[in-house]
Amino acid sequence: MSQLMVTTRKDYQKNKARKGLFRELWKNGWYYMIALPGLIFFLVFSYMPLPGMIIAFKDYNFRDGIFGSKWVGFDNFKFFFNGEYAWRTTFNTLFINANYIIFGTLFAIAFAILLNEIRHGLLKRLYQSLMFLPFFFSAIVVGNFVYLIFSSKFGIANQLLNSVHLLPIDWYSNAQYWVSILVGVFIWKNTGYAVVIYLATIVGIDDELYEAAALDGAGSWHKIRYITLPLLVPTITILTLLSIGKIFYGDFQTIYSIVGDNGLLFATTDVIDTYVFRAVKTVGDISMPAAVGLYQSVCGFIFVIGCNWAVKKYNNENSLF
């Protein structure tokens, strides 16, 4: 009798959950339809290829296929970690991406606050559109634009140096300058996109908070410091955690379109993605890139879990999960 009651209770809970699911889909169906293309994209390009990770442990060839190729264990990882490339590319990837996150966030917050202070609606929309425009430029356009500025003979940068009687610099032969250049290009290209997110958060702040602060004699700076910035912290934290999830992945398209195969700049600009691309282009073996991709994914996962744990310890409400 008791077993029958347990079975009946389980069936009841299943039917209740099923009805709740249908009710939710019926109530918010259009929202799920809007999200469906994005869900399909991640399903096809992020989850369906997961079984292909086994290639990282095989000497893959097209004739035998994924499961028929010879099992080689960690040999593909040794190819990457035995030389100096693993340390150099990993350090460059982390260092460049850390600069992207830090300076990209600072510039985005600063410009979002400045745009919010503009009261003329037309000018505000104009500035926002001009800032957002570089985000739509392709990597090839960005690479040509950078070359136009830093070309040794006809570049704008050297012309400016000549105008103030300074010696021109052979930019494409000196690796020391290129982290700063890449970070500057990233800020120019992506700040407008991040500004939209931060500005939406700022616009959503209750005006009564600013009115109450004004009655207490607070100026614009005090409002920003004690109202705007603290209320931006959750958004900053979430976007930073999402960026940390990709910290082991370099901005391949932009970096390669700017640097290309210029070995003189590899000391500071060669990230994991560009190294793997050159290896595939030269050797034609996809097993090693699969191993490096697995290494990137595992390290990125550990970074996200660790940073989310640290945020959760500090403030549970600002964590992702």
What are the structural domains of the chain? 1-48 (no CATH), 83-284 (1.10.3720.10)
Lowest mean pLDDT among 32-41, 97-106, 124-133, 278-287: 278-287
pLDDT at 178: 92
Q: What is the pLDDT of residue 21?
A: 67
For residues 279-289, one letter each, b for 16 or more C-beta atoms within 10 angstroms of the residue's C-beta and e for the rest, the string is beeeeeebbbb
Give mean pLDDT, residues 251-269: 88
At 14, is the pLDDT very low, low, confident or very high (cuts 50, 70, 90)?
A: low
Q: Quote the pLDDT of residue 5.
A: 46
Show Cβ contacts of residue 94 under 8 Å, excluding neighbours closer than 6 positions. Answer: 247, 248
Sequence-distant (6+) residues with CB within 8 A of 140 are 257
- In a 13 Å sphere around the CA of 85, the CA atoms on its Cβ side amount to 18
β-bridge mates for residue 66, sequence order: none
How confident is the model at residue 314, as a pLDDT? Answer: 76
Q: If we measure between CA atoms, which residue out of 314, 189, 299, 178 comes closest to residue 249?
A: 299
Task: Quickly state the pLDDT bin for 50 (edges 50, 70, 90).
Answer: confident
Rg (C-alpha) for the chain, rounded Å, is 26
Q: Contact 200/139 with Cβ under 8 angstroms?
A: no
pLDDT in tens, 55-100: 888 888 877 777 788 888 888 888 778 777 888 888 999 999 999 9
Distance CA 259, CA 251 (A): 12
The rounded distance, in Å, linking the Cα atoms of 174 and 141 is 23
**pLDDT of 10 above 90:** no
pLDDT of residue 97: 92
Q: In this predicted model, what pLDDT tens digit does every residue of 21-46 receive, in sequence order? A: 677 777 887 888 888 888 899 888 88
pLDDT band at 263 (very low <50, low <70, confident <90, very high): confident
Q: What is the pLDDT of residue 152?
A: 83
pLDDT band at 179 (very low <50, low <70, confident <90, very high): very high
6 pLDDT exceeds 50?
no
pLDDT, average across residues 1-23: 57
Task: Write a three-state SS string for the chain.
Answer: CHHHHHHHHHHHHHHHHHHHHHHHHHHCHHHHHHHHHHHHHHHHHHHCCHHHHHHHHEECCCCCHHHHCEECCCHHHHHHHCCCHHHHHHHHHHHHHHHHHHHHHHHHHHHHHHHHHCCCHHHHHHHHHHHHHHHHCCHHHHHHHHHHHHCCCCCHHHHHHHHCCCCCCCHHHCHHHHHHHHHHHHHHHHHHHHHHHHHHHHHCCCHHHHHHHHHCCCCHHHHHHHHHHHHHHHHHHHHHHHHHCCCCCCCHHHHHHHHCCCHHHHHHHCCHHHHHHHHHHHHCCCHHHHHHHHHHHHHHHHHHHHHHHHHHHHCHHHCCC
